[in-house]
Amino acid sequence: MKTNLCIFLIILGCIQTSEAQNTFERAYGSIAFEEAKSVRQTSDRGYIIGGTNQVKVDSLGNEQWTKPYPSTFANTTNQGYILINSNSPTITFTKTDLNGDTLWQTNYSQGIWANHGRYIEQVEDGGYIVAGNFQSVTGSGMLLLKLDSLGNKLWQRTFSEPTSAAFCYGFSAQQTNDNGYIIAGFTYIDFYDTTRHKDIFIVKTDSLGNEQWRKYFGGIKDDLGSFVRQDNQGNYFIAATTNSYSTSTQSDMSLIKLDSNGDSLWTQTYGGNLKGIATGLWPTNDGGCILVGQSNSFGNGDFNGYIVKTNENGDTLWTKNYGGSGVEAINSVQQTSDNGYVMSGYTNSIGAGDFDMFLLKTDSLGNYTINTGINENPNSILKLDIYPNPNNGIFSIQLPFKISKIEIINLVGETIYLEVVNNNKAKIDLRKEAKGIYFYQIYIGENKKVQSGKIILK
């Protein structure tokens, strides 16, 4: 009897903890310009989106409510949400309940010339940590601001490069595993010199905001830090955009990994022949990282959202680009409870207006499905057959409706196969390509991407 009971409890536990990987692509907005600057998974496994408006959606991306609260970042809290918004010289903090109704609102405007708040998150004592920049006669620079649980200032710190105090910017912060804080952004180097340029700027503090160490990363051109996150090992991942070390004609996305003392473990760059911009990242459960941003090196549109999944050494496991014939960008990313990824940004390829808030939920390999207008249920997964997979280079792709184009991409983002199709199936021969992992993208109609995934040649 005990044995049967144990088996039953194990099975019950598996059922309770298992979670399907829902995937979707959605746009939210009106005829005006709208942008999603952040996204975080909520306690009910839905998502809170910050940007032009505050939008709450369920686990399938269905809109539950929208509030006209603009923000540069929206984050989850204990039983509610916190928003930060900048209208220099004032930074506004808004705390809402789970229904989006305002609980309190406070302002910060102590800088004489400028105050900008770009990131906020709740910390262990129930208060909040803020990243931004500050300009005043009392000390300009990258701003690290600590608030209590009601949004009142407890302390503020500014950090600057000696020649460029007023030109140091913070873009994200996090409480670290030693109860200190890490803040990332960029600063001008030799601002008043003809050789001036921007460097990535990282500062680690104790629990009171007192500096413990600082690091600069960059070359003789502009290099900008955009996001920092500590992993479970106590190391730090930095999302950055590099011009100094770009292999393209413009800029590349860059990922830097530091140890707990701020010493560099490695730096990697990712991109194509044109411009890449890194905006966000998230350390993943396998020890690697997901890096997101924008690129015009890949896809059919102007700029597309671009994502790179790496291992713990920064080696590329897979890449994806998201977008249609217009312009897309990904501003924020988080690994979700089902080991997939949720991303937000803006798009003018889909939606109601010029640019709309954009939400993308993928599985663990970056694949997703969208509402094509063909399925009666917009959340149903498109039935795609690829056989065989893995294969020796010859395989077939079949969908239940007509395909317009099939694209195959290698690990560095290069298109190695492109076929215009006027059928619901196609046979593909890649025997001339090297063994390894490749990615397919399926299009219907006028360059409407409906499915993507992985192919293995062996």
For residue 96, give the amino acid letter. Answer: T
Helix locations, 113-247, DSSP H: none
Helix locations, 18-90, DSSP H: none
- The residue ranges of every structural domain in the chain are 21-362, 385-457
User: How many angstroms separate the CA atoms of 139 and 168, rounded?
Assistant: 11
Sheet harboring 114-122: ordered strands across?
114-122, 128-135, 141-147, 153-159
pLDDT at 212 over 50: yes
Confidence of residue 101 (pLDDT cuts 50, 70, 90): very high
Q: What angle do CA 70, 305, 321 make, to 5 degrees?
A: 155
CATH 2.60.40.10 is right for the domain spanning 385-457 = yes
Residues 174, 202 contacting (CB under 8 angstroms): no
The single-letter DSSP state of residue 7 is H
User: How many angstroms separate the CA atoms of 75 and 265, rounded?
Assistant: 30
3-state secondary structure of 376: coil
Confidence of residue 191 (pLDDT cuts 50, 70, 90): confident
For residue 204, give the amino acid letter. Answer: K
Nearest to 151 by CA among 181, 180, 122: 122
Q: What's the CATH fold of domain 21-362?
A: Neuraminidase (2.120.10)
pLDDT at 10 over 80: no
Output the CA–CA distances (angstroms, integers) from residue 284 to 17, 53, 287, 306, 309, in the order listed: 19, 28, 6, 17, 9
Q: Phi and psi dihedrals of 245, rounded to 5?
A: -120, 25
Q: How many CA atoms are closer than 13 Å to the CA of 138, on its beta-carbon side? A: 9
The DSSP H or E segment spanning 135 is strand 128-135
Instruction: Tell me the mean pLDDT in the region 237-244.
Output: 97
User: How many angstroms separate the CA atoms of 33 and 359, rounded?
Assistant: 15
pLDDT at 412 over 80: no
Which pLDDT belongs to residue 376?
30
Which pLDDT belongs to residue 19?
64
Burial of 100 (0-12, 13-18, 19+ CB in 10 A): buried
pLDDT at 85 over 70: yes
Q: How many CA atoms are closer than 13 Å to the CA of 191, on its beta-carbon side? A: 12
Confidence of residue 35 (pLDDT cuts 50, 70, 90): very high
Which pLDDT belongs to residue 372?
38
* Domains 21-362 and 385-457 equal at CATH topology level: no
Which pLDDT belongs to residue 446?
66
Which residue would you say has higher pLDDT here, 136 or 185?
A: 185
Nearest to 341 by CA among 298, 390, 280, 412: 280
Share of the chain above pLDDT 90, in %: 65
The single-letter DSSP state of residue 381 is P
Q: How many C-beta atoms lie closer than 10 Å to residue 231's C-beta?
A: 18
Strands 181-189 and 168-175: antiparallel
Supply 8's token pair: 């039953």
User: How many angstroms separate the CA atoms of 45 and 190, rounded?
Assistant: 47
Sheet harboring 36-41: ordered strands across?
36-41, 47-51, 54-57, 63-67
pLDDT at 7 over 70: no
Chain segment 358-399, per-residue pLDDT in tens: 999 999 999 987 543 333 333 333 456 788 888 999 998 887
When mean pLDDT is compared across 50-59, 156-165, 194-203, the lowest value belongs to 156-165
User: How many angstroms separate the CA atoms of 125 and 94, rounded?
Assistant: 18
Residues 82, 97 contacting (CB under 8 angstroms): no
Nearest to 47 by CA among 356, 334, 291: 334
The single-letter DSSP state of residue 33 is B
Output the CA–CA distances (angstroms, integers) from residue 191 to 21, 195, 419, in the order listed: 48, 8, 51
Q: How many C-beta atoms lie closer than 10 Å to residue 374's C-beta?
A: 15
Residues 25, 350 contacting (CB under 8 angstroms): yes
Instruction: Tell me the mean pLDDT in the region 282-296.
Output: 96
In Å, how far from its chain's centre is CA 366?
Answer: 12
What is the residue-averaged pLDDT of the chain?
88
When mean pLDDT is compared across 21-35, 47-61, 262-276, 373-387, the lowest value belongs to 373-387
When mean pLDDT is compared across 168-177, 256-265, 405-414, the lowest value belongs to 405-414
**Residues 6 or more apart in contact with residue 233 via CB below 8 angstroms:** 287
Which pLDDT belongs to residue 325?
72
3-state secondary structure of 411: coil
